[in-house]
Structure formats: structure tokens, C-alpha cells
């Protein structure tokens, strides 16, 4: 487990940097006009790209050894990858049974405000990651994206479904009121999806979300039911408790396995991406438990 002094030693794992990176991500990914590209903007983009790369390098350093031990043949790698569900960083965190069974409405609201702010938009991450991927993996990312889009039905889109819950519970999801751990999670996912040198990392990181989300979503859905939210209101979490089981299976079979079969180096990159994602999540859970005064 990481200790406080480790964070003090990092220029990246801290509030100010993660806020800056979050604001930059919001700005650079927003649709804009040619006139928005000022000289200052180019300078800032260049500076932030280098810092973002340094941030991911630091996260890689934390997981590199473990990732290097992952098998690089397709079957062996899938077995290792699926094993992360049981024993990956942050799995089976006691925060989730507590949210399901004990947390008050306000405690659940605070938790969800951090989580919603730390949600980089799975749909956009998939869309950014699929660029120039080989056809079979690209098709799987397309199917996954189509589900994110509610298969063409606005009411079934996952992103707006979460936004609705944010409105219902009147959550504050501003960058300034979000812990750096949650911002770092979103920023790491965005960095991996936007920089092509981390494309395989992103495939691994997105795949491990599909693998591990159902367990957490079921607990959150249970907590929301307990505090009186209707089926419609809890839909985002009820849906992901079930749908992501299928998404994970398909992602592993149709994206990860064929990509690793083509080039075994991708297994190590995907392992790093998955471990980076889980480690970022683990830091969030530790922070949330400390915030709630849990052990
Ligand atoms: Fe989703
Ligand atoms: Fe999914």
C-alpha cells in the first residue's frame, strides 16, 4: 500500500497538477474553432502533453514489474487478465459492501459526486482508442460504443443516464471539489485513450473496467435502492451490473485475444494499462474510506 510520503514525492499525484490536467483535458477535447488555436494555446498544449506523458510514465513505473510477469500468449494472457477480477489492485474493497448496506444518503451522494467527476466518458474513450485498430478489435469497440450510444436511442445512452442521476441527487461534480485521486483516474484514462503510444494500454484499461465494473455497480445499485431511489433512477448502475459482464467477455474474446495473437508485446502494454487503471481506482477507494472514517 502506498504511503503519504510517496505522494509528496510526486509532482503528478497531487491536487494542483490533477486539477490543471483536468481543465486542460476539458478544453482540448471540446469542439472549438480555428481562431481558438492561439500561440499561447499551442505552448500550453505542448507543455501539458509533456507533463501528461510524465504522469503516465510515473504510473507505469508503479506497475511495470508486475505487468512484465503477465503471459504474452493469448490464452495465458486472457487467464492472467481475468484473474485481475479476483486479485487486482483495489478489488473487493470494503468500501462497496459498506455503500450497499450502511452508508447514508449524503455519504452515497459524496461518493457518487467523486465518481461522476472521475468518469472520463467511457464512450469517448472507446471512440478515441479505436482509431486505426485492426478490423476485429475495431468491430468489438464499435459494438461496445453502440451500446454506450443506447443503440441509437437517446434514452439508452449511458453518459446521459449517469448525468440524470447527478441531477436527481443534486451532486457537485466540479473539478475544484473533486479529490485528486478521482481526477487522476479520469486523467489517466484520457491520456491513454488520446496518445497513440498508449493505444494498447487503453485497450487493457478499458477492458479491465468492463471486467471489474459489474461487482462495484451491483453494490452501488443496492445502496441506491436502500436510500429509496426508483428502478429508473438507479438504471445506470443496475444496467452496468449486468451488461458489463457480456461487454467484458466480448472485449476479451474479440479485442484482447486477437490483438495479442498478432503481437505479444501488446500483452505487456495491456497489462500495464489495466494495472494503471486498477491502481488509480484503488487510490480513490482508499481516499474515500479515509474521508468516511472507515478502516
Ligand atoms: Fe457503459
Ligand atoms: Fe460496458
Q: Where are the domains of the chain?
A: 10-292
Provide CATH code, domain 10-292. Answer: 1.20.910.10
Q: What is the pLDDT of residue 6?
A: 52
Distance from Cα 144 to the centre of ligand 2, integer Å? 7
Grid cell for residue 284: 480513490
Distance from Cα 23 to the centre of ligand 1, integer Å? 24
Q: Report every protein residue that has its C-beta within 5 angstroms of ion ligand 2.
A: 244, 247
Distance from Cα 147 to the centre of ligand 1, integer Å? 7
Scored b (16 or more CB within 10 A) or e, 128-165 reads bbbeebeeebbebbebbbebbbeeeeeeebbbebbbeb
- Ligand nearest to the CA of residue 160, numbered in listed order: 1
Q: What is the pLDDT of residue 1?
A: 47
Whole-prediction pTM: 0.96
Distance from Cα 194 to the centre of ligand 1, integer Å? 19
Q: What is the pLDDT of residue 173?
A: 93
Beta bridge partners of 149: 157
* 227-240: pLDDT as tens digits: 999 999 999 999 99
Distance from Cα 209 to the centre of ligand 1, integer Å? 10
- Ligand nearest to the CA of residue 206, numbered in listed order: 2
Per DSSP, the residues of 26-47 read HHHHS---GGG--HHHHHHHHH
* 75-91: pLDDT as tens digits: 999 999 999 999 999 99
Residue ranges of the chain with per-residue pLDDT less than 70: 1-8
Amino acid at each position: 500500500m502506498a504511503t503519504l510520503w510517496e505522494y509528496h514525492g510526486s509532482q503528478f499525484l497531487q491536487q494542483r497538477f490533477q486539477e490543471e490536467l483536468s481543465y486542460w483535458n476539458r478544453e482540448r477535447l471540446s469542439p472549438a474553432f480555428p481562431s481558438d488555436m492561439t500561440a499561447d494555446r499551442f505552448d500550453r498544449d505542448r507543455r501539458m502533453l509533456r507533463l501528461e506523458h510524465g504522469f503516465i510514465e510515473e504510473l507505469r513505473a508503479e506497475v511495470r514489474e508486475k505487468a512484465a510477469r503477465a503471459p504474452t500468449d493469448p490464452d495465458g494472457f486472457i487467464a492472467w487478465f481475468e484473474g485481475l477480477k479476483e486479485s487486482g489492485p483495489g478489488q473487493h474493497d470494503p468500501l462497496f459492501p459498506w455503500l450497499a448496506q450502511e452508508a447514508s444518503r449524503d455519504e452515497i451522494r459524496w461518493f457518487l459526486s467523486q465518481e461522476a467527476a472521475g468518469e472520463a466518458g467511457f464512450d469517448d474513450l472507446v471512440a478515441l482508442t479505436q482509431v486505426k485498430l485492426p478490423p476485429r478489435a475495431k468491430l468489438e469497440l464499435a459494438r461496445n460504443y453502440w451500446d454506450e450510444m443506447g443503440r441509437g436511442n437517446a434514452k439508452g445512452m449511458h453518459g446521459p443516464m449517469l448525468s440524470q442521476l447527478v441531477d436527481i441527487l443534486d451532486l457537485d461534480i466540479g473539478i475544484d471539489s473533486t479529490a485528486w485521486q478521482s481526477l487522476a483516474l479520469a486523467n489517466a484514462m484520457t491520456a491513454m485513450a488520446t496518445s497513440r503510444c498508449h493505444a494498447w494500454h487503453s485497450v487493457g484499461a478499458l477492458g479491465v473496467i468492463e471486467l471489474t465494473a459489474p461487482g462495484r455497480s451491483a453494490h452501488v445499485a443496492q445502496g441506491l435502492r436502500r436510500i429509496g431511489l426508483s428502478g429508473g433512477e438507479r438504471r445506470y448502475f443496475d444496467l452496468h451490473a449486468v451488461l458489463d459482464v457480456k461487454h467484458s467477455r466480448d472485449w476479451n474474446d474479440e479485442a484482447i485475444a486477437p490483438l495479442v495473437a498478432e503481437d505479444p508485446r501488446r500483452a505487456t502494454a495491456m497489462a500495464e494499462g489495466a494495472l494503471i487503471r486498477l491502481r488509480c481506482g484503488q487510490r480513490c477507494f482508499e481516499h474515500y474510506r479515509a474521508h468516511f472514517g472507515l478502516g
